[in-house]
Amino acid sequence: METSRRDALGLIIGGLGAVGVVGALYPFVKSLAPSAASLAGARVEVDVSQIPDLQVRVVSWKGKPVFVVKLPQNFQWNGKTKEDNNRKLLQGQDAYAMVAVCTHLGCVPLWKPNGEGEFNYPVFHCPCHGGFYSPWGDNIAGPPPRPLHLPPQKREGNKLVIGEPGFIKDLT
Amino acid sequence: MLKGIVRWLDERGKFSQLWQSQMVDYKVPKNLTFPYAFGVMALVAFAIQIISGIFLVMYYQPNVHTAFDSVNYTIMKEIPFMWLIRHIHAAGANFFLAIVYLHIFTGIYYNAYKKPRELTWIVGFFIYFVLLMTALSGYLLPWGQLSYWGMVVTTEIPTSIDSAPIIGSLKIGETISVWMKGGYELGQITLGRFFGLHIWLLPLILLGLVGLHLYLVRANGISSPDGREIDKKKEGVPFHPYITLKEGAYLMGYLAVFFFFVFFYMHHFLPPDNFDPANPFKTPPHIAPEWYLLAFYTMFRSIPDKFLGFVVFNLALLLLLLLPFLDFSPIRSARNRPLFFAMFLVLVISSMALTILGTMPPTPTNAMLGMIFTLGFLSFFLSLPVISILEWGWYKAKGGNRS
């Protein structure tokens, strides 16, 4: 029984030391967390009523450029695409966001509402190697291997919220 | 006069006693083979990296706007002889890893991980792991295209956890990825962070681990190529001058090969793609990691399921750590273990094949080959318990017993 007090002291001092170590480590580990500037870029709100019909606005999301496309009501498009992935995902949306990085070698495509070259309807045209995309980002022609990526996004009235799951849940 | 000074110093520092006990009275097996020199070569490679690294830090600027120019203009063209020091550092990293791989395979061949040397092996594993992190973080610093995109891919690897069945929904992988980069994009914060890790934290950890490793080697004595522990009082040769001079000669040969590459054959160590400044909007068509990571990279990409690939390449690393406990045979050294030697060959061939496949494009055939050699790699480790049980049987049949 004589040693029990010393044992208790040892335990208390050891415990205090452990608390101190954890307390000292916390700020160092926490300094590795994403910076405030980066977090601010993870959720972007765009007022789509401010974008004219058939126009595109470029915003930044997680450091990547993102197109916000606004389509007129009853928009008809006569082009043909290699695949229909994005169009199916975006069905019924008059405004949506797409990552504005060409899937070939990463240039930023240009919006051509009046068409370009042989395509006389609205398309995205990547000037670097001649990739063409539909307004929904499905590839029409050229070297791009797949449609433009869609970021997670949802719609709240006039606001399109990029970075939160909604009609697109995950980055495609 | 000079003798007086030496004597004065020795009386106070006891240096001759230290030399006598650690170099002359320290006995090692007299049949040590050439591969036993890889340890000292790795040590010299480490010293070369530290010295050249210190000089590079004097001119390198860890800023996304100036990093590329500071490396490719200031260092390569402006400052006298800094081109040489950069070449030494870049080639040195590759040689360091190559020597470490040879050292690891030598250790496996001679069973240098067995009792009482398990801890030496475990510390060695952590040296290898920290060394990989050091090499990886250093490769980002020139801020060229391969630096940038290689790191984009590397920091994406943890996101494979998110495609796991249950824990995937927690999104731990994305959290780890973002914490590695300091944000959602690979940018200034990432560069500054990796610079700090590369020049300070990781080399300091390495120094500590290497010190511990060398202490453990001395504490347990050097394993002999035929697997017999020597009686240190009666057998063995003094470390100095027998081994110091022999390994000194090998070292000169090693340095001659090293400087041949530094002066005449640098294009592999400084690949042309990395002389383009990093462009976050333009992915180079062919991205593969540095050669020393290719075996793990091939395992990762050959397996069709992303999460499974992640599990397997981590398993490969884990098995390497657990090696001393998987092999519990009483017999040491591949010289005395025909079954072990056969499996060792499978390991060596699989590792080399995985590395070569990593340089090739990911076609279905290559993926199939990648999976076959991944199985080969894993089968070495998984066969060890079986071989050990068999060898215990032979050992007992010959009248051996547990001592």
∠ at Cα B129 (B125, B135), nearest 5°? 140
The Cβ of residue B232 has, within 10 Å, a number of other Cβ atoms equal to 13
The answer to whether the beta carbons of residues B282 and A105 sit under 8 Å apart is yes
A91 within 8 A of B214, measured Cβ to Cβ: no
Residue of A nearest to B197 (CA): A32
Neighbours of A164 (CB within 10 A): 16
Per-residue pLDDT, B403: 45
Which residue numbers in chain B have pLDDT < 50? 403
Query: B33-287 falls under which CATH superfamily?
Result: Cytochrome Bc1 Complex; Chain C (1.20.810.10)
Contact A90/A68 with Cβ under 8 angstroms? no
In angstroms, the CA B305 to CA B94 distance is: 31
Coil, helix or strand for B352?
helix
Say if residues B202 and B134 touch (Cβ distance below 8 Å).
yes
A140, A141, A144, A148: CA torsion to nearest 10: -20
Tokens of B388: 């050990």
* Cα of A21 to nearest chain B Cα, Å: 18
Per residue in B363-376, pLDDT (tens digit) is 899 999 999 999 99
A64 backbone dihedrals φ, ψ, rounded to 5°:
-105, 145
Q: Which residues of B make CB contacts under 8 Å with A?
A: 178-179, 181-185, 187, 189, 193, 279-283, 285
Q: How far apart are CA B373 and CA B396, in angstroms?
A: 35
Partner residue facing A32 (CB), from B182, B185, B187: B182
CA angle, residues B394, B400, B403, in degrees to nearest 5:
130
Best-predicted range by mean pLDDT (A52-61, A139-148, B90-99): B90-99
Task: Report the pLDDT value the prediction gives residue B402, as an integer from 0 to 100.
Answer: 53
**pLDDT for the residue numbered A84:** 85
Asked whether the predicted pLDDT for residue A78 surpasses 80, the reply is: yes
Question: Helix or strand or coil: residue B205?
Answer: helix
pLDDT tens for each residue of A85-122: 898 898 888 899 999 988 887 788 999 988 888 888 99
Instruction: Using only the alpha carbons of chain A, give its radius of gyration.
Output: 25
DSSP H/E element including B370: helix B364-397
Q: In chain A, which residues have their Cβ closer than 8 Å to the Cβ of B285?
A: 105
The DSSP call for residue B158 is: G
A60 forms beta bridges with: A65
Q: How far is A107 from chain B (nearest CA, A)?
A: 6
Put simply, the answer to whether B281 touches A108 (Cβ < 8 Å) is: yes
The H-or-E segment that residue A96 falls in is: strand A95-99
Structure tokens at B274: 């990395």
Contact between chains at B281 and A38 (C-beta distance less than 8 A): no
User: How many whole angstroms separate alpha carbon B172 and alpha carbon B310?
Assistant: 14
Both tokens of residue B38? 């890889």
Q: Name the minimum distance, in Å, from the CA of A7 to any CA of chain B.
A: 31
- What pLDDT score was predicted for residue B177? 86
Please tell me the total number of residues recorded for chain A in this structure.
172
Q: What is the pLDDT of residue B183?
A: 87
HSE, CB side, 13 Å, CA atoms: give it for residue B136.
22
Query: What are the CA-CA distances from residue B312 to residues A23, B325, B385 (Å)?
Result: 36, 19, 19
β-strand partners of B144: B277
For B183, the token pair is 């944000």
Query: What is the reported pLDDT for A141?
Result: 86
Per-residue model confidence (pLDDT) at position B355: 97
Q: Which residue of A37, A42, A107 is in closest CB contact with B282?
A: A107
Nearest-CA distance from A29 to chain B in Å? Answer: 10
ipTM of the predicted assembly exceeds 0.90: no
Q: What is the pTM of this model?
A: 0.90
Phi, psi of B249 (to 5 degrees): -65, -45
pLDDT digits (tens, 9 = 90+) for B305-362: 888 999 999 999 999 999 999 999 999 999 999 999 999 999 999 999 999 999 998 8
- Return d(Cα B221, Cα B218) in angstroms, integer: 5
Q: Which residue of A has its CA nearest to B280?
A: A106
pLDDT score for B401: 62
Beta-carbon separation of A105 and B285 below 8 A: yes
Structure tokens at B202: 């990781």
Set of chain A residues whose Cβ sits within 8 Å of the Cβ of B184: 34, 38, 41-42, 62-63
